[in-house]
Amino acid sequence: MIRSRKPVLAAGAVAASALALVLAAPDASAYVTSVSISSGSLGNGYGTNCSYTVTVNGSPNEYIWLYDSSSSTFSPQQVSLGSGGTATSSWTPTSTGTHYVQAWSYNGSQWATVQVGTGINLGSACLVS
């Protein structure tokens, strides 16, 4: 009895084609596209013990966690980007030096790098030395 190999070869060709399509597909876009920190200080940039608004943009309804490489606080630390793909949080650095403020999700992250000096909180502004 002679069996044909055509069905096996056809199935292999279909599987190879499907694999090629998956590998050639473009990468999914990042779920966090940008992180920015508002200014609002008098002097040199950002100051300790003064609050700044962190704005995160990305895919709508994505949950984001905020982190800092140095000591600081966020209020809130976890945000949802909502239907418009934007959220804000209040960031208060508590140490001087270079801070890497990161917005992180399971699907990607972005960060902002800022220098923080000694701040004197004047209420509506921050004097930074």
Helices (H), the chain: 6-24
pTM: 0.74
Q: Is the pLDDT of residue 16 over 80?
A: no
Cα angle: 85, vertex 86, 88; to 5 degrees: 155
User: Does a structural domain hold residue 36?
Assistant: yes
User: Does a structural domain hold residue 97?
Assistant: yes
> Rounded to an integer, what distance in angstroms lies between the CA atom of residue 109 and that of residue 85?
14
User: Does a structural domain hold residue 72?
Assistant: yes
Q: Is 9 helix (H, G, I), strand (E, B) or coil?
A: helix
User: Does a structural domain hold residue 126?
Assistant: no
65-114 pLDDT per residue, tens? 999 999 999 999 999 999 999 999 999 999 999 999 999 998 889 999 99
> Which structural domain, as residue segments, surrounds residue 101?
32-121
> Rounded to an integer, what distance in angstroms lies between the CA atom of residue 47 and that of residue 64?
24
Per-residue pLDDT at 4: 57
Reference 30, options 113, 110, 88, 111; nearest CA is 110
Provide the domain count of the chain: 1
- Tally Cβ neighbours within 10 Å of residue 119: 26
Query: What sign does the dihedral 117-122-126-127 (CA atoms) show?
Result: negative
User: Does a structural domain hold residue 9?
Assistant: no
Q: What is the CATH number of the domain that holds 39?
A: 2.60.40.10
